[in-house]
Chains A and B, each alone.
Chain A
Amino acid sequence: MKKYLHIYKVTILDNIQYVSNIVLRILSFAIIIFVLFNLWKYMYSDQETINGYSKSQILWYVLITEGIWFGVRNKNFTNEISDSIKSGNIAYSINKPYNYVSYLIVKNLGDITIKSLVFVLVVSTIGTIFIGRLKFTILQIPFVLIALIFSALIFSIIDISISLISFWIEDAMPFHWVFDKLVLIFGTIIPIEMFPNSIKTIFSFFPTYPIMYGPAKIIIDFNFNIFCKIFLVQGIYLICTIIIMNLLYKEGVKKVNVNGG
């Protein structure tokens, strides 16, 4: 456990050196938020509430889910995993005295920690200035933190698992595209309540429920029952994704062919 904590600490320190890179991401985030705010403002131009969401609630929802997306997603890292499998460089990582997949999770969490904290600040600032204060009490903080940490963990594990597909198919990028769009459409831009009833049930089984919808719902419309339900779904998802990731690695690593040199 100590070595993983050390990896986490070193990765965070490494990322502090490149904190200026986050500025670009904040700019991209602000532009996307601007477009989505315009879209939702247009949708609310002739109605007060849509499917139980007021205008300020939906704007906060979009802001939070996009914030999670920008804070937790680590495209460069997941590309690195695929590249190291393709090039055979993975051979240098799997013979180290640690569990490779645990190392990947810890390193990814180290990568996103600073970024996520910055986005918490950015989201709160943009929201407070452009939407108005959110009904939020200090008592909610522990529940929100739990939901966000679980969300980051599940997102990381799924992304790493998709990259591990490179053991079989050289380029895992197309699978990342589809997963990304699944997350964006089913829960980031539009909350579950806006979907037709037939899709709502299917949506509850999608990874976007524990990753995006859950934490955002706990922040904008907290009640303990909702938290328990989301926590349960996140727990189940975490266990299932860990099992799938380990299986993918166990089977995939057998396919590694190193040509020396």
Chain B
Amino acid sequence: MLMEVKKQIKISLLSIKYSIMMQMLNKVTFITNVIFMILNNASFIIQWMVLFNIKDNVGGLSFKQVILLWGIASGTYGIAHLFFEEAFNLSKLIVNGKLDSFIVQPKNVLISVVTSRSKISALGDLIYGYIVLLFYGITIKRFIIFTFVNICGGIIIAEISIIYNSFCFWFVKADILGDTINNTMLNFATYPETIFKKSVKLILYTIIPVGFSTYMPFKLMLKFGIREFFLLIISVLIISLLTFGIFNKGLKKYSSSNLMVSRI
């Protein structure tokens, strides 16, 4: 069992590595994608500078804390899209019947699919997250926690996308749902949780679980607690089980389009 997991991780990492290498072939495109994504994220600092000029706190958070929240949102998004890009295109693969080449492989279908492609601009998002950490004040402890919460948050974001996109196994038009949830999560993730009413917070920890992918990691960064640490791990595990369960159930409904596809 452990050997199987080890092999799966090794293959997935190789797949991601080759996908990144392939996109690095055009150096100008690679560099502009990464640098402009960092600039793109950094531009929002101006928005928060202006807002903090009006009020000395937003949702009870200081300027540095809001920027840290942005760093976590950016870092988790970076991890999700750099390592699991196909989780966000899953609906198209299902609707167009393009899962055949993954099903015939003697490896886990879901992991093989989601790690088969990387979004190179997401590297800019991830780097920006660490730049923010530098600005916030980097220590070894913070660096470890930041990396840990980014990985957890990134996995959750990818898994939520897989869950909603998997509905395409049953309803073709469910791709709209997946896209909307992804955009919604991103919109909420970049604003403090405290500006929303309690009724909204309920949605943020259920239907649109940005609470688990960004707000919980953010709280853990502000004040590390063993209880919160394990709560985050348990959240990842539960969402993972749910993701694999829904995808595998849906896979039984999958019908091929007999499309000839070669994976290079």
Contacts and interface: CB of A to CB of B under 8 A. Distances in A.
B44 A181 contact: yes
B40 A178 contact: yes
Q: What band does the interface of chain A fall in when counting residues whose beta carbon is under 8 Å from B?
A: 20 to 34
Contacts of A170: 26, 28-29
B33 A174 contact: yes
Interface string A151-172: 0000000000000000001110
Contacts of B179: 24
B32 A28 contact: no
B6 interface: no
A43 B51 contact: yes
A28 B186 CA distance: 11
B242 interface: no
Given A31-B183, A177-B36, A185 B51 contact: no
A182 B51 CA distance: 16
Interface string A16-53: 00000000100110011001001101110000001100
Interface stretch (A89-97, A125-133, A189-197): A189-197
A27 B180 contact: yes
Nearest to B124: A174
Contacts of B28: 169-170
Contacts of A182: 43
A31 B47 contact: no
B37 to A, nearest CB: 7
Interface string A220-235: 0000000000000000
A28 B180 contact: yes
B47 A50 contact: no
Contacts of A136: none
Interface in B39-59: 39-40, 43-44, 46-47, 50-51, 53-55, 58-59
Contacts of B197: 38
Contact of B29 (A31, A38, A43, A169): A169
B108 interface: no
Nearest to A180: B40
A18 to B, nearest CB: 13
A190 B59 contact: no
A85 B39 CA distance: 25
Contacts of A171: 26, 29, 32-33
Nearest to B29: A171
B191 interface: yes
Contacts of B180: 24, 27-28, 31
Interface string B193-234: 001110010000000000000000000000000000000000
Given A41-B195, A174-B121, 19 more contacts: A28-B184, A31-B180, A35-B187, A38-B191, A38-B195, A39-B195, A42-B58, A43-B55, A169-B29, A171-B26, A174-B37, A174-B40, A175-B36, A178-B40, A181-B40, A190-B51, A194-B50, A195-B50, A196-B50
Interface of A: 24, 27-28, 31-32, 35, 38-39, 41-43, 50-51, 169-171, 173-175, 177-178, 181-182, 185-186, 189-190, 194-196
Which 9 A-B pairs rank lowest in CB-CB distance, beginning with the nearest? Answer: A174-B36, A177-B40, A181-B43, A42-B195, A171-B29, A174-B32, A185-B47, A38-B195, A31-B184
24 contacts: A24-B176, A28-B180, A35-B191, A38-B191, A38-B196, A38-B200, A42-B59, A42-B195, A43-B54, A43-B58, A50-B54, A51-B54, A171-B32, A173-B121, A175-B32, A175-B36, A182-B43, A185-B43, A185-B46, A185-B47, A186-B46, A189-B47, A194-B50, A195-B50
